[in-house]
Amino acid sequence: MDIAERQLEALLVVRAQTGDETAFEAIVRRYHARLLYFVRRMVCGYSGADDVLQDVWLAAHQQLPRLRSPETLRVWLYRIARNRAMQAMRQRHWPAEKAVPDCTAAPEAEEPQFTAADAEKVHAALDRLSPAHREILTLRFLEQLSYEELATTTDCDLGTVKSRLYYAKRAIKQELEKMP
């Protein structure tokens, strides 16, 4: 997002915080599809992703006046979405996490390169990963969150984020290699 986009978004947040419903609707339009994709990845196999997203928007609407830094809107929304998705998974007795290797010193890996033709395979491979791996890959590569933003969104330290991303890249690579 460029500087003008960030400034526009911050202005929308401030306006929405003062009760401007049109500004909040603009925020919803900006993030609805992306958050829906993220929630669907988090609650893979659960048809109630739309319900989870409704909860996200309700919580965002109620809590927006308390958001102190308008420039953190994106990370704040993803954190709410993550928490609501995990809550939905717990309520349905799904394990929120599979065993995910979690060490603080993982080697750096090259960023994977995918073409548009690979998109369907990538989405199918994502569905086979643990929730933690789906989450970190979706936020990093589809939403382009920085490592620091990932740490804030997932409530992990930076080393854990790097480690989880390293192992998630390995896992998706293995899943893609299994596909015809």
Which residues span the domain enclosing 126? 116-178
pLDDT single digits (tens) 121-175: 888 888 889 888 999 999 998 888 999 999 999 999 999 999 999 999 999 999 9
Give the CATH number, domain containing residue 173: 1.10.10.10
In one letter, which amino acid is 32? H
84 and 124 in one domain?
Answer: no
Mean pLDDT confidence for 71-85: 94
pLDDT band at 98 (very low <50, low <70, confident <90, very high): very low
What's the number of domains the chain is made of?
2
Question: 114 or 89, which is more confident?
Answer: 89
pTM: 0.77
pLDDT single digits (tens) 19-42: 999 999 999 999 999 999 999 888
Residue 106: per-residue pLDDT: 37
Asked whether 48 and 37 are in contact (CB, 8 A), the reply is: no
Q: Is residue 106 part of a domain?
A: no
Question: 3 or 20, which is more confident?
Answer: 20
Residue 108: per-residue pLDDT: 43
Distance separating alpha carbons of residues 106 and 151, to the nearest angstrom: 15
Mean pLDDT confidence for 107-127: 67
Residue 112: per-residue pLDDT: 52
Distance separating alpha carbons of residues 152 and 130, to the nearest angstrom: 20
Helical residues (DSSP H) of the chain, grouped into ranges: 3-17, 21-42, 49-63, 73-91, 119-127, 131-137, 147-154, 158-178
**Average predicted confidence (pLDDT) for the chain:** 85
Mean pLDDT confidence for 63-90: 93
Q: Is residue 155 part of a domain?
A: yes
pLDDT band at 97 (very low <50, low <70, confident <90, very high): very low
Q: Is residue 134 part of a domain?
A: yes
85 and 10 in one domain?
Answer: yes
Three-point CA angle 22, 48, 121, nearest 5°: 100
Q: Is residue 14 part of a domain?
A: yes
